[in-house]
C-alpha cells in the first residue's frame, strides 16, 4: 500500500483532514502526519478535531512517500511560513508523484511555486492568488492536472477522496532504494 504524508498546520479545516485520513486509512495506506513541531498537537478550526504531528518535514525524505495530501482551512497559510515544509513539498513535486490539496491547501502549492501553467481549483477566495501565480482556475468539485489533485471545499470531499484513491492506485511504485 502507499505511504502518504499529510501536511497539517494549526487551524486546518476539521473535515478536510478527518475524512481523507479515514478514507485512506480504511483503504490500508500508511499515513504520516507532518507539520512544524514534532509531538505537538494541532487543532481544527472548528474545534472538533485534533491531530498529533508525527514528524517535521526536515526529518523526511520525499522519495519515501507515494503522495502528499494538504487539507485546507488556516493550516496551509500557517505552513507556508515554514521553509522545511515548503522545501519538502518542492522536492517531493520533482518526483512526479501525486499531490492533493483541498480548499485553502493550494496556498501551500503557490508558496512552493508549483502552480504556474497548471489547472486547479480551490476555495473561491484563493482563486485570485492562484491566477496571479499563473494557474488556470476552474470552479469544479475536483480538478486533476497530471500529478496535482485539487478540490474546492468540504462539500466536495467525496469526490476529492475518490480522486486520491484513483490516482494512488495508478501510481508507479517507489524506487526500490526507498526505505
Per-residue pLDDT tens digits for 9-20? 999 999 999 999
pTM score, two decimals? 0.94
Establish if 43 belongs to a structural domain. Answer: yes
Domain extent, residue 96, equals 3-170
Asked whether residue 177 is assigned to any structural domain, the reply reads: no
Residues of the chain short of pLDDT 70, as ranges, are 170-179
Q: What would the pLDDT profile of 45-83 be if each residue is shown by its tens digit?
A: 999 899 999 999 999 999 999 999 999 999 999 999 999
Tell me whether residue 161 is one of the annotated catalytic residues.
no
Q: How far is CA 134 from the centre of its chain?
A: 19
CATH number of the domain that residue 43 is part of: 3.40.50.880
* Residue 124 forms part of a structural domain: yes
Total domain count, the chain: 1
Sign of CA dihedral 150, 152, 153, 157: negative
Q: Determine, yes or no, domain membership for 38.
A: yes
Give the three cell numbers for residue 85: 515544509
Does the residue 175 lie in any domain? no
User: 33 — phi, psi (to 5°)?
Assistant: -80, 120
Q: Which of 24, 31, 103, 114 is catalytic?
A: 103
Amino acid at each position: 500500500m502507499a505511504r502518504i504524508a499529510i501536511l497539517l498546520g494549526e487551524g486546518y479545516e476539521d473535515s478536510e483532514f478527518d475524512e481523507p485520513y479515514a478514507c485512506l486509512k480504511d483503504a490500508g495506506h500508511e499515513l504520516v502526519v507532518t507539520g512544524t513541531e514534532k509531538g505537538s498537537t494541532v487543532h481544527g478550526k472548528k474545534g472538533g478535531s485534533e491531530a498529533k504531528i508525527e514528524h517535521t518535514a526536515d526529518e523526511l525524505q520525499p522519495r519515501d512517500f507515494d503522495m502528499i495530501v494538504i487539507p485546507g482551512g488556516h493550516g496551509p497559510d500557517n505552513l507556508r511560513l515554514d521553509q522545511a515544509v515548503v522545501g519538502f513539498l518542492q522536492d517531493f513535486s520533482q518526483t512526479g508523484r501525486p499531490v492533493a490539496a483541498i480548499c485553502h491547501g493550494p496556498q501551500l502549492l503557490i508558496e512552493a511555486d508549483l502552480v504556474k501553467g497548471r489547472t486547479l481549483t480551490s476555495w473561491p477566495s484563493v482563486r485570485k492568488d492562484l491566477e496571479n501565480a499563473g494557474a488556470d482556475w476552474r470552479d469544479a468539485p475536483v480538478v486533476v492536472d497530471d500529478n496535482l489533485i485539487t478540490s474546492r471545499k468540504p462539500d466536495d470531499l467525496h469526490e476529492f477522496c475518490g480522486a486520491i484513491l484513483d490516482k494512488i492506485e495508478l501510481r508507479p511504485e517507489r524506487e526500490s532504494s526507498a526505505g
